[in-house]
Structure 1
Amino acid sequence: MLERRWIIGFTCLILVGLLHFVCFDLIMLYDVQKSTTAAPIELLWWSHHFSFVYDEVRQCGAFECRVTNKRQRLASARAVLFYGTALKKGDFPLPRSPQHLWALLHGESPRIVTYAPSDDFLQHFNFTSTFSRYSDLPLTTQWLPSAHDLISMDYTMSFDFKSSNLNVASPSVVFLSSDCDTMSGREHYMKELMQHINVDSFGSCLHNKNLPASLQKDYMDNLYSPKLLRFLSRYKFMIAIENAVCEDYITEKFWRPLVVGVIPIYFGSPSIKDWQPQKKSAIFVNDFPNAAALGKYLMELSENKTEYDSFRGHKLNRSHPIQNEKLLHNLMTYRYHTGDLTLEGSLFHRFECAVCKNATYRGPIRRANARHNNCPLVPIYAPLESKKEPHSLVRWRSAMKVGQCQARILKTFFRSNKPYNEADFEAELNRRMDDNRCSTDPKLH
C-alpha cells in the first residue's frame, strides 16, 4: 500500500511538472506574438558529424523551427548549433552576424575537448547543453534511464544470494572499463586496490577475466542491456570511477550499479552526494586515505548483511525509496535521458527544440561561462598509497595547458570576427608556444 501511494504521489509530481512546461510554452508564445503565416525561424547545425543532408521542419510544442545542416543557409539562420565532440578549431562561421545565437551541445569530459571548460571559449555561446546543472539544458542525470529503473527490483538480488554465489570471490567486486588512460588516474588507483582485494576486471583495462560469450561482442554499445544488468547484479560492489573529475559529470558508472542493486564505489564529481537517491547510497573513494583502507572496509562490509543493505534503501525501502528532493525534482523535470527511446526523445531532438524555443522567444542575450562546463583546469586524480601523482598526469596537465592556450586563441579570432582556417589557428598556436606564451597562466601551475 505504501509503495502504491509513493508511485501515485510521484506520478502527480510528474503531471504537475508537465503542466508547468505546457503553461510556460503558452506564455512564451503569447509574448512572442508569432504570426501564423510567418516562416519558421532557422537553426543551422555547423558540424561535420552529419554524414547526410539534414533539412526538416521541427515542431516543438507551440514553436516551429527549420533545422538544417546546409551551410549556405547561414545568412538565414537565427541560431548556429555546434556538437562538442565534432568541433574543429579552424571551422567556425565568421564573421558572426549579430542575429546569430551560438548553441553548444557537449556532454563529455575535458579529455575529449581540452579547451571546452575555459571561460575564454564558453563565453561566446548563448545556449549550452552540458553535464553541468548550470547549463541551459542540463544533462546531469542523462545516464539514469528513469526513476522506475532506480527503484525497480527487476535485477536486485538479496545479500544472501550474492554471498552464496561461489563463483565470485569475496568481497565480490566488479570492474568494467576499457579505458586505461584517464585524467582521474583510475587505472593507477585500481592497480593498488587489486593488490589488497580480489576484483573481477572484465574490460580491456587491467583485464583478468572474460565476460560470458554472449556479452563480449557489444557490451560497450549496450550499457543497460538486460543480459549485462543480470550479470552485474550478482556482485556486491561495482567500481564507479569516472574518467575525469568535473562537477556534475556523472555517467552510467554511478547509475548502473544503483539500477541493479549493487553498491557503487565512486570517484568523480565532487557534488555526487547531491544526486544519490538516499543519504547513504554509495561508497566514496575520497572517504578513505588510500586503496588499502578501502579494501579493508569492503572486506568487512561484504560480511555484514544489515550494514550492506543499508546502502540499498532505494531498493529495499518500498515506502520511500528516493529521499533526495533534488534528485526527485530533476527526475520530474529533466528533458532528456537515455531511457527515452522515441524519436522525439533523442538528445539532438531535445536540444534542437530547446534552442528553437530560446531563439524564438529571444529574451535578453545570455552568455555561457565556465560553470557551464565545470571542470578544474588541473586534473584531479584518485588518492594513491604512494602519495605520488600518476605518471600520466604530467601529460594530462600539459594537455589542459595547451587547451587553455587554444581557448585564448579562439577568443582572439572570435573577437576579430574575421574568417580564418585551421592553418591560421595552428600557426598562431605554434607562435605562442615558441614564445612560451602558452604556459604563463598561473592557474595551471
Structure 2
Amino acid sequence: MHISTSFLYIFATLSLTMAIPGKSNVYHLVDSAESEWTWIARLSDRYKFNAEAQKVLHNRLVMNYMRPIPKAPKIITEEEPISVLLWDTEGLEKVAGDTELASQCSVPCRVTTDRSESGKAHMILAVGDEVPDVFAILQPFQQKALFVLEPDLSLPNAEKRVDPFHMLVSYSRHSDIRVDYSRSLSIPSGLPVFAQKTKKALAAAFISNCDNNGDARYRLDYLRELSVHMDIDSYGACLHTPGLPTDVNFKEIASQYHYVLVLENTVLDDYVTDKFYEALSTDAIPVYLGAPNIAEFLPDRQSNHIVIEARNFPDPTGLATHLKELALDEKAYMEYFEWRSVGHDPSFSKQNDFEATGKNSFVCRMCEHYNLRVEK
C-alpha cells in the first residue's frame, strides 16, 4: 500500500481548516444571561475542549501526518507484519483476547499482549495515565500509542497528557485513530405502543456514579431539580427512588416510560458514552445532557426528532414543561421513532466501535495508519 506525498499534503491542508485558531468552542445551554442554571454553563466551560486544548491536539494530528516514521529493520510482509503490543488491557479485555482482531486488515498486521516483544513491536499501546518505562528505550521505528475513552483529554494538561505519545487512539475527532461506543446501538424492530406507557412517572433515570466531589455532581443537581417539576423514577444508586429495585433490565424497564434520561458525567465535544446508544435502543425518547455536538452521533442526521437535548431549554423547569406537553400528544411523541424505518445515515455506519473486529478494528486502523506514514 503506497500513499503519495501529495496525498499527505492535501490531507494536512484540509486538516488545518478543521480548527479555527483563537475561536473558543464554549457551548452554553442557553443564550439568556439571566438563566439561573449558570453552573451548567460553567460545567460546559470547564470540560469542553477549550480553544488551547483543541489547538494542541489538532496541530499534533496534522504534524504527525507530515512527519514520516523511520523505516523498520525488516520489510513489512505477511511473514513480518506490523505488530501492535497491547501493553495494558484494562477496558480492552474483550478485544485483547480476540484472535480475529487483526485477521482482515488491509495491510499485514498482528496484535499481541506479550511484553517480551517490546523491543521489536512497531507500536506499543498504553491505557491509562502511566507512561510505561519501556517507552524510554524504544527504537526510532517504534511508535508510542495512547488509548483514551475517558474525558481526561479535556483538562488543561492536554498537551502534557499526549506529549509522550506518537499516536492517539480516543473518542476525540483530533485523534489519529478515533474510537467510540457505537456497538451499543441495536435498533428495535417496529415502533413503541403509546398506550403501553402506563408508568405514573414520565421518565426513568439510571445513574450509579454518585461522586459529589467531582464535577459529575452537577448532573445530580440537574436531576434533583428536574424531579421537582416532573415525576422521575430513579433506578440507579444516585437519588434512588424508594421502593424501586436497583438490579433491573435497563432496556425492558426504560421502554415502559415516555423518556429515559441520559446525563453524561462530562459535557464535552465527542464524548458520547454507551449510555446514549443504549437509550436509543429502548422504546423511550432519550433526554440528553452531554456532548454539545451530539447531533453528529445520531443514526439519522437529517432528523430533528431522535433525542431531546436538555441544553436547548433555559432550565429544568422549561425542560419538564416540554416533556409533559409532548407526552400528551401521541402524534408528536411518535415522530421521535420514525427514524427507525429510515435506517442508518451513511456517516453513522462509519462510526468507530472500539470493540469492532476484523477489518474495522482499531488495531487494523493503527496498522494502516503506521503503513501510511512509515518510510518506504
Q: TM-score, normalised by structure 2?
A: 0.67
Change in Cα spacing, 1:143 to 1:304, as seen in structure 2 (3 Å) is same
2:167 corresponds to: 127
Partner of 2:323: 298
1:240 aligns with 2:243: no
2:228 aligned with 1:195: yes
Structure 1 match to 2:187: 150
**Which letter does structure 1 place at the counterpart of 2:148?**
H
Q: CA-to-partner distance for each residue in 1:13-66, whole Å, 9 max, x for gaps? A: xxxxxxxxxxxxxxxxxxx99675753343323327499x98989534343344
Q: Distance in 2 between matches of 1:259 and 1:296?
A: 25
* 1:26-175 equivalence runs, <5 A: 38-47=79-88, 49=90, 58-84=102-128, 87-88=129-130, 91=133, 93-110=135-152, 118-145=158-185, 149-150=186-187, 152-153=189-190, 156-162=191-197, 165=198, 168-170=199-201, 172-175=202-205
Give the Cα–Cα distance (whole angstroms) in 1 for the partners of residues 98 and 279 of structure 2: 40
User: Letter of the aligned partner of 2:367 in structure 1?
Assistant: C
1:187-226 pair list within 5 angstroms: 187-209=220-242, 216=247
Q: Helix, strand or coil: the match of 1:76?
A: coil
**Secondary structure, counterpart of 1:129 in structure 2:** strand
Equivalent in the alignment of 1:23: none
- Whether the 8 Å CA contact 1:237–1:262 is kept in 2: the answer is yes
CA shift at 1:361, angstroms?
4.0
Are residues 180 and 78 of structure 1, via their aligned partners in 2, closer, same or farther at CA, if it must alter by over 3 Å?
A: same
Whole-Å separation in 1 of the counterparts to 2:156 and 2:146? 10
Alignment check: 8 A CA contact 2:76 2:108 kept: no
Q: How far does residue 335 in structure 1 lie from its aligned partner after superposition? A: 4.5
Q: Which has the larger radius of gyration?
A: 1
Aligned with 1:283 (options 308, 322, 329) = 308
Q: Post-superposition shift, 1:79?
A: 1.3
Match of 1:370 in 2: none
Paired amino acid for 2:269: E
Per-residue deviation, residues 86-143 of structure 1 (Å, max 9, x unmatched): x325746214432121222221222xx8869702322443332211233233224525
Distance 1:259 1:67, change over 3 A: closer
Partners of 1:282 and 1:62 in 2: CA distance: 36
* Aligned with residue 279 of structure 2, among 254, 257, 263: 257
Q: Cα distance, 1:352 vs. partner?
A: 2.5
Count of matched residue pairs:
294
Q: Mark the runs of 5 or more structure 2 residues left unpaired by the alignment.
A: 1-71
Distance 2:98 2:119 in 1: 15
1:328 to 343, 346, 349: 346
Alpha-carbon separation, structure 2, partners of 1:304 and 1:128: 46
Q: Distance in 1 between matches of 2:373 and 2:110?
A: 16
Return the offset for 1:329: 1.8
* Residue equivalent to 1:442: none
Of all paired residues, the percent bearing the same amino acid is 25
User: Cα RMSD over matched residues?
Assistant: 3.6
- Rounded to whole Å, the distance in 1 between the matches of 2:279 and 2:77 is 49
